């Protein structure tokens, strides 16, 4: 994919990164520099100052429609990570994730932006048992309000593609941290290097329409098959196997506990909060 740029060979002139203060945002803030002359980084939380002329730091609440529309001005593609990333009260999820992602797509429409990379989540299908293998066509089973908000984000992506031609890759990220933290994450772990590679492919692959891909490293025991996302060229290099021996020494949840049986782990029994 080619975006306007007369002064460099980078594929995009300006990228927008939301959620830039978060765990993954801080990783991608660096990684995206390779793909754009300018990366506009945004969050509601405090962010590190601009690292140079190649960064623009703009504070914004995703629930603020006008603010999000301004954020998208002169932008060629959006990497949308911002929002609440765990289970919370529905009203909080509604503002940040549901309204927020709607505002992102409306901003894309109004500014003629044709590519969005959306941070969805494995919690869109978290109510499947861990011994069932899924692919992008498996019916969704959201495991919490948070998972529901990501399912809605994926539906927005489908709608905006068919109605307005805005292409999206929805990343159903497993567990992206420096290291897997428990036995479940031996299956769901996505290394930061594989995350950066996945986002690169999601930005650059041609004709993605709305593609759903599970964001997971090349772990031994996978629950997800990316057969319908082969056109992205995502080829994870890392594996959680190096962490297995240490994690197997930790105290484990009882084998019949829901968190040990279902793919969504602890998210399947989080809340209610009222």
Q: Which residues bind ligand NAI (CB under 6 A)?
A: 19, 21-25, 43-45, 61-63, 81-85, 96, 100, 119, 121, 173, 175-176
CA distance 96 to 90: 10
Beta strands 134-135; 115-121: pairing state? unpaired
Check whether the bond before 272 is cis (ω within 30° of 0). yes
Does position 175 bind ligand 15L by CB under 6 A?
Answer: yes
22 binds, among ligand 15L, ligand NAI, none (CB under 5 to 8 A by kind): ligand NAI
- CA-to-CA separations, 53 to 38, 49, 67, in angstroms, rounded: 7, 11, 22
| Nearest-approach distance from CB 61 to ligand 15L, in angstroms | 19
Between 3 and 62, whose beta carbon lies closer to ligand NAI? 62
Q: Please say which residue, 168 or 175, places its beta carbon nearer to ligand 15L.
A: 175
* 125 counts as binding ligand 15L under rule CB under 6 A: no
Would you count residue 191 as binding ligand 15L (CB under 6 A)?
no
Ranges of beta strands (E only) in the chain are 12-18, 36-43, 55-59, 77-80, 115-121, 134-135, 167-173, 210-215, 224-225
Nearer to ligand NAI, 3 or 79 (CB): 79
Q: Which residues contact 80 (CB under 8 A, 6 or more apart)?
A: 18, 19, 101, 104, 116, 117, 118, 119
123 forms part of the interface with ligand 15L (CB under 6 A): yes
Asked if 76 and 12 count as a contact pair (C-beta separation under 8 A), the reply is yes
* Closer by beta carbon to ligand 15L, 12 or else 152: 152
| Shortest Å distance, C-beta 210 to ligand NAI | 17
Q: Which residues participate in catalysis according to the annotation?
A: 146
Closest to ligand NAI by CB, 5 or 26:
26
Contact 216, 188 (CB under 8 A): yes
Smallest separation, CB 106 to ligand 15L (Å)? 24
On whether the CB atoms of residues 242 and 101 are closer than 8 A, the answer is: no
The reply to whether 149 sits near ligand 15L by the rule CB under 6 A is no
**Minimum gap (Å) between residue 256 Cβ and ligand NAI:** 26
- Cα dihedral across residues 248, 220, 223, 264: positive or negative: positive
Among 37, 42, 85, 168, binds ligand 15L (CB under 6 A): 85
Min dist. Cβ of residue 176 to ligand 15L (A): 7
- Could you list the residues that contact ligand 15L (CB under 6 A)? 85-86, 121-123, 175, 188
């Amino acid at each position: 994919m080619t975006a306007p740029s007369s002064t460099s060979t980078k594929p995009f002139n300006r990228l927008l990164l939301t959620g830039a203060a978060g765990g993954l945002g801080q990783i991608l803030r660096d990684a995206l520099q390779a793909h754009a002359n300018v990366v506009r980084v945004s969050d509601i939380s405090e962010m590190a100052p601009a690292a140079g002329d190649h960064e623009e730091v703009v504070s914004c609440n995703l629930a603020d429609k006008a603010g999000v529309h301004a954020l998208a001005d002169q932008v060629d593609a959006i990497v949308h990570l911002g929002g609440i990333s765990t289970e919370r009260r529905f009203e909080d999820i509604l503002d940040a994730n549901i309204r927020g992602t709607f505002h992102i797509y409306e901003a894309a429409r109004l500014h003629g932006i044709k590519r969005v990379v959306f941070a969805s989540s494995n919690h869109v299908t978290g109510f499947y048992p861990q011994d069932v293998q899924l692919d992008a066509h498996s019916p969704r089973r959201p495991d919490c309000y948070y998972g529901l908000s990501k399912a809605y984000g994926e539906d927005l992506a489908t709608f905006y593609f068919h109605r307005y031609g805005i292409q999206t890759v929805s990343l159903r990220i497993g567990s992206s941290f420096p290291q897997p933290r428990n036995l479940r994450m031996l299956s769901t772990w996505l290394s930061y290097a594989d995350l950066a590679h996945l986002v690169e492919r999601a930005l650059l692959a041609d004709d993605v329409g709305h593609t759903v891909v599970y964001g997971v490293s090349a772990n031994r025991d996978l629950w997800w098959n990316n057969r319908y996302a082969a056109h992205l060229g995502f080829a994870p290099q890392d594996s959680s196997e190096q962490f297995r021996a240490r994690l197997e020494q930790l105290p484990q949840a009882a084998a019949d506990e829901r968190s040990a049986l279902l793919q969504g782990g602890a998210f399947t029994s989080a809340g209610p909060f009222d």
